[in-house]
């Protein structure tokens, strides 16, 4: 790993992880995977900052209900809405693992962040997560007045698997009657799960915390079958038409298996005429966005705030 120049703090995390190997995820039960991975994510994210208030809700979806957590940065009427779809390979992650970045986004963007606890694989295979996120977005829009929010100003955001869900939901909203979306934020997104042949996967396959084998485990748990990988709702980079999507900010980390996918998505959106901003943070790895210990994490959040309010 000496040829890769990690940020000193990141290098310490990686050295610790490789010096203290854990049981491979595919040898654990789903419950064990979630417990260990969720604890790791929450610890890396760190404690969240204060917001004005937090509201817990339940949203009806096909076949049940899911949790929704609203973060209000200020007490003002008609706040804009920023939906958030957490990462975790569609298998792990929840409202608590991503509590810290949601709080920070609410404060930086001066918007109400609505974090969606979509149902996870393998209990709920593709495309359940996609439609849970779409349903939650429509529910918030339909109930905006009672929530003190502005249904005319809705943005979507997410990281990793959630970053891919952002594009899947945006495509469905564009093609299936809304809601109208104003902006998209996608942080080190998963945009093409048909293969692991892109440059960043080859370079960082076994050198970073989010490894190639881990991504392969997530993909197998998420999809009903290999043929699902080519569906644009699972691999939005493969969508035939990316035009007419709202202005988009894509943030990636230099040392991440998903970097090439994020960069390719940014290029595809620009070719489709979408107003797209792309930022790759040097020395960083997956999950850096929201890590309270890092100046670069704050820089990413600050960039998001400036872009969102522009």
Task: State both tokens at 296.
Answer: 């670069």
Alpha-carbon separation of residue 238 from 82, 248, 276 (angstroms)? 25, 17, 17
Q: How far apart are CA 91 and CA 82, in angstroms?
A: 23
- Whether 98 is a known active-site residue: answer no
Which of these is catalytic: 86, 100, 256, 260? 256
Evaluate whether 244 touches 174 at the Cβ level (below 8 Å). yes
- Whether 99 is a known active-site residue: answer no
Task: State both tokens at 102.
Answer: 């949601």
Which of these is catalytic: 7, 86, 255, 286? 286
Which of these is catalytic: 115, 160, 186, 200? 160
Evaluate whether 189 touches 167 at the Cβ level (below 8 Å). yes
Task: State both tokens at 133.
Answer: 């996120």
- Whether 160 is a known active-site residue: answer yes
CA diameter of the chain: 55
Evaluate whether 251 touches 187 at the Cβ level (below 8 Å). yes
Contacts of 187 (CB under 8 A, 6+ apart): 87, 157, 158, 159, 160, 163, 250, 251, 252, 289, 300
**Active site positions, annotated:** 160, 256, 286
């Amino acid at each position: 790993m000496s040829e890769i120049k990690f940020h000193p703090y990141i290098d310490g995390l990686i050295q610790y992880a490789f010096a203290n190997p854990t049981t491979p995820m595919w040898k654990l039960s789903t419950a064990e995977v979630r417990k260990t991975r969720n604890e790791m994510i929450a610890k890396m994210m760190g404690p969240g900052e204060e917001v004005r208030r937090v509201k817990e809700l339940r949203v009806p979806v096909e076949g049940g209900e899911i949790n929704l957590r609203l973060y209000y940065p200020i007490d003002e009427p008609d706040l804009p809405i920023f939906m958030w779809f957490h990462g975790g390979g569609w298998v792990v992650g929840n409202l608590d693992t991503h509590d810290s970045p949601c709080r920070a986004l609410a404060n930086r963007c001066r918007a109400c962040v609505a974090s969606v606890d979509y149902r996870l694989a393998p209990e709920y295979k593709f495309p359940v997560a996609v439609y849970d996120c779409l349903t939650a977005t429509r529910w918030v829009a339909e109930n905006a007045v009672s929530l003190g929010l502005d249904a005319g100003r809705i943005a979507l955001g997410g990281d990793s698997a959630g970053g891919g869900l952002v594009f899947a939901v945006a495509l469905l909203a564009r093609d299936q009657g809304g809601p109208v979306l104003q902006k998209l934020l996608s942080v080190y997104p998963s945009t093409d799960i048909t293969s692991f042949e892109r440059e960043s996967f080859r370079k960082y396959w076994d050198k970073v915390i989010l490894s190639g084998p881990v991504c392969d485990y997530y993909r197998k748990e998420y999809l009903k079958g290999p043929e699902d990988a080519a569906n644009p709702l699972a691999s939005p980079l493969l969508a035939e038409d990316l035009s007419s999507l709202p202005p988009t900010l894509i943030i990636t980390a230099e040392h991440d298996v998903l970097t090439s996918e994020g960069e390719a998505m940014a290029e595809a959106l620009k070719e489709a005429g979408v107003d797209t901003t792309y930022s790759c943070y040097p020395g960083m790895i997956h999950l850096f966005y929201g890590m309270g210990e890092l100046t670069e994490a704050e820089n990413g959040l600050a960039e998001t705030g400036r872009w969102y309010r522009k």
